[in-house]
A = this chain, B = another copy of it.
Amino acid sequence: MPEQGKTPLRKLLRVPAGGVDLSAYDAGAKPGGPRDKKAGLAATADMGEELAGLQDRLWASSTAGDPRRVLLVLQGMDTSGKGGTVKHVIGMLHPYGTHTKAFKAPTAEEREHHFLWRIEKEVPRAGEIGTFDRSHYEDVLAVRVRELAPPEEIERRYDEINRFEQRLADDRVTLVKCFLHISYEEQRRRLLRRLDRTDKQWKFSPDDIDDRALWPAYQRAYEIALSRCNAPHAPWYLIPADRKWYRNWAVGRLLLEHMRALDPQYPKPGYDVEECRRRLLGE
């Protein structure tokens, strides 16, 4: 496959330092992407081998003390395709060395702790590629929109998130935060599709319709989070996600660019290869 375009996606999709007006971003766009769906599916499949190879090297390298790991954070409105991205992108990797966590509404025990307590426990270990489907950002998104915490506490959380992510970066975690941006209309289509299919109806709840009334408030909460927690070592990427094939391609491509930059290497053997070969052959 020829490389798509010349500009790295990590530049093209990077949320600018000044923040964003989400309504100005076309959720159906495909910046830097393949021409059409067919080319997009092929290009995504083509990434699999290189991604899995880089994952293998990252893992191997960790066995020799390399502390580096990757954390992919997926955020987006209901039906924006967080689960689908895990299936199609993370599904290309070896199950070992990946660690995927879907954060639901906090349990009673989790609510008794600091909001980062449950997050901390799921941070990937050296050599791993971790994925968060929802994350600590829910504590400044859902919690803000639904007024589940006092405003001054939510206010404090942006700084706490920034310090937490700074610490992760210091600890050699490569953060790749992706906001899957879908349109209000596309969400309606996806919800209708869930209603139409007996194998998808279980994913639907009438609450999903009620929640659509909160759409503008959520978009605003995302704009604030994307602007206030967007350090160079913990960047946000805005992924137009109305087209599933583009979304998968873009997230896969971002992961690939970050993994290539890490460029992990297989460790040199700490034993005498020739001697071991002789011993095995001479048994």
The answer to whether the Cβ of A73 comes within 8 Å of any Cβ in the partner chain is no
A276 touches B202 (CB 8 A): no
A273 touches B201 (CB 8 A): yes
The answer for the CA separation of A195 and B271 in the assembled complex, in Å, is 10
The answer for the CA separation of A100 and B188 in the assembled complex, in Å, is 35
The answer to whether the Cβ of A36 comes within 8 Å of any Cβ in the partner chain is no
Across the two chains, which residue of chain B brings its CB closest to A91? B95
B96 touches A269 (CB 8 A): no
B86 touches A276 (CB 8 A): no
The answer to whether the Cβ of A31 comes within 8 Å of any Cβ in the partner chain is no
The answer to whether the Cβ of A277 comes within 8 Å of any Cβ in the partner chain is yes
- Near B by CB (< 8 A), chain A positions 235-283 give 266-269, 271, 273, 276-277, 279-281, 283
The answer to whether the Cβ of A94 comes within 8 Å of any Cβ in the partner chain is yes
- For this chain, the copies found in one complex come to 2
Across the interface, which residues of B come within 8 angstroms of A268, CB to CB? 201
The answer to whether the Cβ of A191 comes within 8 Å of any Cβ in the partner chain is yes
B96 touches A83 (CB 8 A): yes
Q: Which among A56, A87, A102, A202 has the greatest number of chain B C-beta atoms within 10 A?
A: A202
Across the interface, which residues of B come within 8 angstroms of A98, CB to CB? 95
- Near B by CB (< 8 A), chain A positions 39-92 give 56-57, 60, 63-64, 83, 86-87, 90-91
Interface with B: A138-146, A159-167, A203-211, A217-225, which one? A203-211
Q: Residue A195 contacts which of B96, B212, B280 (CB distance < 8 angstroms)?
A: B280
The answer to whether the Cβ of A112 comes within 8 Å of any Cβ in the partner chain is no
The answer to whether the Cβ of A23 comes within 8 Å of any Cβ in the partner chain is no
Across the interface, which residues of B come within 8 angstroms of A267, CB to CB? 202
Across the interface, which residues of B come within 8 angstroms of A95, CB to CB? 86-87, 90-91, 95, 98, 100, 131
- Near B by CB (< 8 A), chain A positions 93-139 give 94-96, 98, 100, 102, 131
The answer for the CA separation of A202 and B266 in the assembled complex, in Å, is 7
For the complex formed, measure the closest distance between the CB of A127 and the CB atoms of chain B, giving whole angstroms.
Answer: 11
Across the two chains, which residue of chain B brings its CB closest to A274? B195
The answer to whether the Cβ of A192 comes within 8 Å of any Cβ in the partner chain is yes
The answer to whether the Cβ of A199 comes within 8 Å of any Cβ in the partner chain is yes
Across the two chains, which residue of chain B brings its CB closest to A267? B202
Beyond the given A195-B276, A212-B283, please list 5 additional residue pairs across the A-B interface where CB-CB is below 8 A: A60-B202, A60-B203, A86-B96, A96-B102, A209-B279
| 7 pairs of A and B residues whose beta carbons are closest in the complex | A201-B269, A60-B202, A202-B267, A95-B100, A206-B271, A87-B94, A195-B277
